[in-house]
Amino acid sequence: MAVGLVAAFLGVLVLVSIVVVVILLTMSNQIGNVFSNVAAALASSPSP
């Protein structure tokens, strides 16, 4: 019984990791744009 639970948990973990990788690959340009915008905003802000 414990082996079945471990196998089910690993199956869910693999599926979730695949979904996360697919989402990151499809949104990589948008994520890069967000980081670029944040870096530009930090660079243009005056230092105290």
What share of the chain in percent tops pLDDT 90? 81
Measuring CA to CA, which residue among 11, 38, 34 is closest to residue 24?
34
pLDDT class of 1 with cuts at 50, 70, 90: confident
| Average pLDDT in the chain | 92
- Check pLDDT > 80 for residue 48: no
- Check pLDDT > 80 for residue 34: yes
Task: Give the model's pLDDT for residue 45.
Answer: 79
Residue type, 28: S
- The DSSP annotation for 15-44 comes to HHHHHHHHHHHHTHHHHHHHHHHHHHHHHH
Task: Give the model's pLDDT for residue 19.
Answer: 98
